[in-house]
Amino acid sequence: MRALVTGATGIVGNNLVRALLDDGYDVRVLVRPSSDNTSLRRLPVEHWPGDILDHQTLVGVADKCSFVFHAAALFAYSGFTQDELDQIAVDGTRNVITAAAHANAERIVVTSSTVTLGSATTPAVRDERDTFEDKYPSSYTLSKVRQEKAAFEACRELGLELVVVCPGLTVGSFDYRLSPSNASIVNYLNDPMRFTFPGGCNIVSARDVAAGHIVAACHGAAGERYVVGGENLHWRDVHRMISALGGTFGPTYTLNNTSTYLAGAAAEMSARVMGKRPSVTRDEATMACHYYWYSSDAISRLGYAATPCEDALAEALAWLIHRSYLSESVVDRLTPDDRVREHLQALRGVAA
Amino acid sequence: MITCDMNNEPPSVCIRHTPGGTPDLMLEEILDASGFWTAMESVRRTQKISRDRFSIAIKPDLDVFNLALPSGTDRHLVQHLASLLRQRGYALITVIDARNTRDSWLLNREPLMVADFVGYDFSGDVYEVTGGDVSASAAQTWSDADFRINFAKNRTHESQVFALCVHNLLGVCPSNVTLSDLGSRCLGLLRESPPHFNLIDGFISFHGAAGERAPVAHKSCTLIASPDALLADVVGASKMGLDPYLSPINAKCLQALGMPSLQGIDGELTRYPMWQNVHPLVAESARKRNEVPGLGGASAAWFQTVDREHFPFREFYSDRLNSFIAPLMARMGDDPRAQWLIVLLNTLIASVGSGILAQHTLFAKGQLERQRKRIEIDLDRFGDGDYLNLPEHLALFEQHVRTGEYTSGRIQLRRLDDAALFFASHEYPIAYDEFVSRVNIGHAIQYMNDYIGGSLVTVARDDHGRTRMQAERNLYLQQPNWMVLFGGDIIDVEKIQLLDYGEDRQTIYWRTVASPNNSAENDDGRVSFIRAPNGCVRMEIFTRQKFSLPLFFQFIRIDLFPGIRDSIVETAYRNFFERTVANMQAQFDGREFRIGYERPTDLIDENSLGDIARYIATALATLSELLRTRSDIAGVGEWFAARSWTSDTRPAPVPDSDGFRHFGPTPAGTRYDSVAGQATDLARRLEEVLLDSPGVFAGLASAVQRDLEAFAEQNGGESR
């Protein structure tokens, strides 16, 4: 069977391509000519140069593909306007769906996000039945909500089967552009005070997200959304795990909503004044004080199983060290856990 | 060379200095020369115990923070001493220590753990090792031992200037002894379970301007031995070139027990060559720092040079601050700037502590910790006559104040020899018998205004089993309270007291016999509960008080301005009396009236921080982290100023084959254009940020609202 993957150079796409290859699929990847496709160079995949915003480059891209996995997205909390984010999320998704429908693909799997299911200010677990009602959503979150809406509308119009996958906070390897999810680990370790936040998140391994996509494609019901998540944890617990895996201190104090917001606002504003990319934004700070806890029960009934959060973080931490996303001064003060060391050795072995 | 006379009496103190000698042989020699074996045999024979059942406790110095350079007593010497004892048939030998339980800011500081790291033998073949506060407590083992050997290290100390035999005794105190109580604990140990013999290991000594915080090895090749711990310390301090009273712990013991005779010294008293002591300014500032509640205890972690591999820090901010401050401590000996910086830092912490203390004293007395202070006076010094003469002694002064007219309202005040004489009375509408059954006359001083702690010991009882004579240590807040702003000390006085119980009258008389902090010259008086003609109780109080004035008031000679002075004194006494009356009423009603809070006895951890201290420590840690990562102050400034838009953007010149770097001319106008362009960009970015400010404030308002809601929820109240 053949599968098309868009956004193959991102963390989800990279892991998905590898999972599909492991499962015996022939994989075609849509890659922008300007993209750095180093990560895919050694993989036995068919490269299709194109851009999801340029529908002419998508003609024939899904030919002979049973499944189309649309993982291309702009995952960023700064540096892009709402219009730019919406264009990629909405227009880009419509274009890919149109191409898939013209190629008579069996099904398209769109990568969305659990943020479209909303969040809570209390530790409440949400699932696919919940609707989005957040008061001050980030531009990225809005773009994902609009993407889903556009996807369902387009598939209904074109008669294409659609399954939407909503991953949690995805951490792990093969993240060549440092996604905000993995960056949250970097930010925590870069913080000399190792503060933590009052909210919680659902941490999931990028490998599991990839596996979840395949489960959703093969066994999911058309027109459904599936949460592909891991463990629901308080940020304090996530940070404690990171510290334990890194063999370092922390977390120290749990900031409250106000101080977290002020820290995020200060970082964002000062970066904007200096003309730099902020390490953290107000949106991220606000989100860190909410609970993004979700249940993966629906996809679990189809055969999906998440790996423990600690293992996912160990792999992510090894990746961040391996790719030098953490500065030397931070790495020098870490004493990584055995699990992190094992992942590091494996990564260095692959690199060698 | 000073030598003892040769009339077969062992020397009172023996000093051996043998450059090139081996420590073991020196130890054997000094034990023989100092009469150690004879002294031990004498004690054993007196107690009529066989050698195999004669218990011996050895207390080495185990204040070790760096295993590569252990600054405690040389473990080999202690083991050799134990072997020598064993060879002579003494079987019950225990090495003890409890000192390190205080270092709870580090991991692995349990007494047995440190002993294990240092290399003590736990097989039990030659000696046992014990320590800690639990069942086999070090203090109990020490006091129960038939023969106690105090084996100190020869070293300087940051706040005590030197740490020798008396200081080493702290290692048998339980960890719940507060820092401010160390001196009286040492004095108590010297009185109740003194060491039979004292040794100072100065083969390798540790000196240096930072004391134990950054010890520097010094090959002194010296051992000192004496049956008298104070004498051994006097000699040890002399060899360091120090006044033995410079250590507050030693000074307290010397003042209480007297200066030992220097007769019968065997050995040289010459100063160690190239020895470096702690500067008195450093020691004084460190003591002030240590006295700060919470922050003082925790700050030890920031200043101590630590072997992190064996003793990791528990708290992140301690770790961060330590990595910044400890290197400064290590440089104090050869860099005066480091020394001044440390003095400044100590003073800053002490000032913060003073500020917090003043705030609590003036506005939040409930935040002050009640103090337990042992009585330090030697009660044997006072005979029955001293107690029984109290009424007569006080009557002499009371008549001066009672003969005059009332000063104001219900109080009478007079001055006599700079002391304030005060009398007042108050009638409670309560039946006398009922009142005295609930308000204990023996505790009358504890009902007084601003009493913050102390202790009470019964000396004698009457035929009915009631306390007749007692001794009490009282601590009160500064009087008036605002004296705290001028550096006024807590009033700390020790008194002997006599109680009289009549059918219609109960009285307590007291006289101050000591003031450990010299805060009072006189604080004498009486309180009486008298049956009034209507059957109610009348409380009378008379005091004669003369408190030491803070330096500021001494400087301005407040006595030369009687109008101001009398007004201050009158207000203070009126407050004192009104609140004391209210306190006794509260005692009768069974209501709580005492100021301060009681810390549970099993939870005295001076390293634990209160909220304010924790915030300060966190802020300091942030600052030190910033300084550490930015390497210098200029770097911090540069960092804040975001040099990206001010720096020269030209590529750095690369050296040519001859090693020269070539700097090209900057084209005319380029730099100006560049700066102008950057300024325009900056203005544009600032404008964007300002335009976005409503959004920022909306988000902030939302965050504040969520915090308020969470706060209301936690407190079970309404959010608005």
Residue with tokens 């030998």: B93
Question: What mean pLDDT comes out for the span A220-230?
Answer: 96
According to the model, what pLDDT value does residue B631 have? 43
Partner A contacted by B629 (CB < 8 A): yes
Cα distance between residue A174 and residue A206, in whole Å: 9
Question: What mean pLDDT comes out for the span B247-253?
Answer: 93
Is A131 part of any domain?
yes
* Chain A interface disruption, residue of B682, B696, B708, B713, most A CBs within 10 A: B696
Q: Tokens representing A193? A: 């005070």
pLDDT above 70 for B633: no
pLDDT above 90 for B430: yes
Q: What's the domain count of chain A?
A: 1
Residues of A in contact with B626 (CB under 8 A): 192
Percentage of chain B exceeding pLDDT 70: 83
Predicted confidence band of residue B636 (pLDDT cuts 50, 70, 90): very low
Is A128 part of any domain?
yes
Cα distance between residue B526 and residue B505, in whole Å: 12
The A residues from 212 to 271 touching B (CB cutoff 8 Å) are 249-250, 252-253, 256-258, 260-262, 265, 269-270
Is A336 part of any domain?
no
Least-confidence region, from A52-66, A216-230, B326-340, B646-660 = B646-660
Question: What mean pLDDT comes out for the span B662-666?
Answer: 51
Is A256 part of any domain?
no
Instruction: Please give the ipTM for the structure prediction.
Output: 0.82
Residue type, A183: A
Task: Compare CB distances from B688 to A135, A262, A272 and report the shortest one's residue.
Answer: A272
Residue B89, classed as helix, strand or coil, is coil
Residue type, B103: D
Highest mean pLDDT range out of A264-268, B83-87, B306-310, B374-378? B83-87
User: Cβ distance A340 to A245 under 8 Å?
Assistant: yes
According to the model, what pLDDT value does residue A249 have? 83
Is B420 part of any domain?
yes
Predicted confidence band of residue A350 (pLDDT cuts 50, 70, 90): low
Is B593 part of any domain?
no
Q: Tokens representing A18? A: 């590898």
B280-290 helix and B336-363 helix, angle to the nearest 10 degrees: 30
Is A123 part of any domain?
yes
CB pairs under 8 A between A and B: 76
According to the model, what pLDDT value does residue A276 have? 80
Cα distance between residue B475 and residue B450, in whole Å: 8
Least-confidence region, from B38-47, B284-293, B479-488, B500-509 = B479-488
| Same-domain pairing of B692 and B543 | no
Is B175 part of any domain?
yes
Question: What mean pLDDT comes out for the span A36-56?
Answer: 90
Least-confidence region, from B13-27, B516-530, B621-635 = B621-635
Residue type, B473: R
User: Cβ distance A90 to A150 under 8 Å?
Assistant: yes
Is A195 part of any domain?
no
Residue of chain B whose Cα is closest to the Cα of A198: B707
Highest mean pLDDT range out of A265-279, B69-83, B164-178? B69-83
Q: Tokens representing B22? A: 């081996």
Question: Residue B131's beta-bridge partner residues?
Answer: B97
Task: Compare CB distances from A273 to B629, B685, B695 and report the shortest one's residue.
Answer: B685
Task: Tell me whether residues A193 and B642 touch, CB distance under 8 A.
Answer: no
Predicted confidence band of residue B625 (pLDDT cuts 50, 70, 90): low
pLDDT above 50 for A192: yes
According to the model, what pLDDT value does residue B373 have? 85
Task: Compare CB distances from B700 to A262, A272, A275 and report the shortest one's residue.
Answer: A262
CATH of residue B543's domain is 3.30.530.20
When comparing pLDDT for B696 and B244, which is higher? B244
Give, as one character, the DSSP assignment of residue B403: S
According to the model, what pLDDT value does residue B639 have? 42
Predicted confidence band of residue B602 (pLDDT cuts 50, 70, 90): very low
According to the model, what pLDDT value does residue B487 have? 80
* Chain A interface disruption, residue of B308, B678, B685, B688, most A CBs within 10 A: B685
Residues of B in contact with A249 (CB under 8 A): 313, 316, 319
Q: What is the mean pLDDT of chain B?
A: 83
According to the model, what pLDDT value does residue B6 have? 41
Partner A contacted by B698 (CB < 8 A): yes
Question: Residue B425's beta-bridge partner residues?
Answer: B540
Is B249 part of any domain?
yes
Question: What mean pLDDT comes out for the span B478-505?
Answer: 90
User: Cβ distance B572 to B479 under 8 Å?
Assistant: yes
Is B52 part of any domain?
yes
Partner B contacted by A329 (CB < 8 A): yes
Residue with tokens 């961040």: A320
| Same-domain pairing of B542 and B680 | no
According to the model, what pLDDT value does residue B674 have? 54
According to the model, what pLDDT value does residue B720 have? 35
Percentage of chain B exceeding pLDDT 90: 45
Alpha-helix runs per DSSP H in B590-692: 611-630, 633-640, 670-691
Residues of B in contact with A198 (CB under 8 A): 710
Cα distance between residue B166 and residue B154, in whole Å: 12
Residue with tokens 């083991």: B79
Domain residues for the domain of B273 are 13-278
CATH of residue A70's domain is 3.40.50.720
User: Which of B557, B585, B600 is the endpoint of a domain?
Assistant: B557
* Chain B interface disruption, residue of A239, A255, A269, A287, most B CBs within 10 A: A269
Domain residues for the domain of A136 are 2-177+203-230+292-306
Burial track B526-537 (b if 16+ CB lie within 10 A, e otherwise): bbbbbbeeeebb
Q: Tokens representing A134? A: 């957040």
- What would the DSSP string read from start to end of B385-401? HHHHTHHHHHHHHHHHH
CATH of residue B57's domain is 3.40.50
Pairing of strands B451-461, B419-431: unpaired
Is A239 part of any domain?
no
Question: What mean pLDDT comes out for the span A29-54?
Answer: 90
Task: Quick: pLDDT tens for A108-163.
Answer: 999 999 999 999 989 999 999 998 888 778 999 999 999 999 999 999 999 999 99
According to the model, what pLDDT value does residue B5 have? 42
Residue of chain B whose Cα is closest to the Cα of A275: B685
Q: From its phi and psi, is residue A194 left (phi > 0), alpha (psi between -120 and 50) or beta? A: left
According to the model, what pLDDT value does residue B635 have? 44
Predicted confidence band of residue B603 (pLDDT cuts 50, 70, 90): very low
Task: Tell me whether residues B621 and A193 touch, CB distance under 8 A.
Answer: yes
pLDDT above 70 for B588: yes
Highest mean pLDDT range out of A201-215, B282-296, B474-488, B629-643? A201-215
Cα distance between residue B674 and residue B666, in whole Å: 11
According to the model, what pLDDT value does residue A14 have? 95
Is B587 part of any domain?
no
Q: Return all residues near A166 (Cβ < 8 A) that are at least 6 apart.
A: A112, A113, A114, A116, A117, A128, A225, A226, A227, A228, A294
pLDDT above 50 for B604: no
pLDDT above 50 for B348: yes
pLDDT above 90 for B549: no
Query: Which value, in Å, is the radius of gyration of the alpha carbons in chain B?
Result: 32
According to the model, what pLDDT value does residue A128 have? 94
Is A83 part of any domain?
yes
Residues of A in contact with B700 (CB under 8 A): 258, 261-262, 265
Cα dihedral A139/A144/A148/A150 (nearest 10): 50
Task: Tell me whether residues A265 and B696 touch, CB distance under 8 A.
Answer: yes
pLDDT above 80 for A172: yes
Least-confidence region, from A344-348, B343-347, B399-403, B464-468 = B399-403
- What would the DSSP string read from start to end of B431-464? EHHHHHHHS-GGGGGGGSTTEEEEEEEEEEE-TT
Task: Quick: pLDDT tens for A298-332.
Answer: 999 999 999 999 999 999 999 999 999 988 778 87
User: Which of B263, B278, B293 is the endpoint of a domain?
Assistant: B278
Cα distance between residue B493 and residue B414, in whole Å: 22
Q: Tokens representing B591? A: 């209501």
Question: What mean pLDDT comes out for the span B444-451?
Answer: 92
Task: Compare CB distances from B685 to A249, A272, A289 and report the shortest one's residue.
Answer: A272
User: Which of B519, B539, B557 is the endpoint of a domain?
Assistant: B557
Q: What is the mean pLDDT of chain A?
A: 92
Q: What is the 3-state secondary structure (H, E, C) of chain A?
A: CEEEEECCCCHHHHHHHHHHHHCCCEEEEEECCCCCCHHHCCCCCEEEECCCCCHHHHCCCCCCCCEEEECCCCCCCCCCCHHHHHHHHHHHHHHHHHHHHHCCCCEEEEECCHHHHCCECCCCEECCCCCCCCCCCCHHHHHHHHHHHHHHHHHHHHCCEEEEEEECEEECCCCCCCCHHHHHHHHHHHCCCCCECCCEEEEEEHHHHHHHHHHHHHHCCCCEEEEECCEEEEHHHHHHHHHHHHCCCCCCCECCHHHHHHHHHHHHHHHHHHCCCCCCCHHHHHHHCCECEECCHHHHCCCCCCCCHHHHHHHHHHHHHHCCCCCHHHHHCCCCCHHHHHHHHHHHHHHC
Q: What's the domain count of chain B?
A: 3
Residue type, B70: P
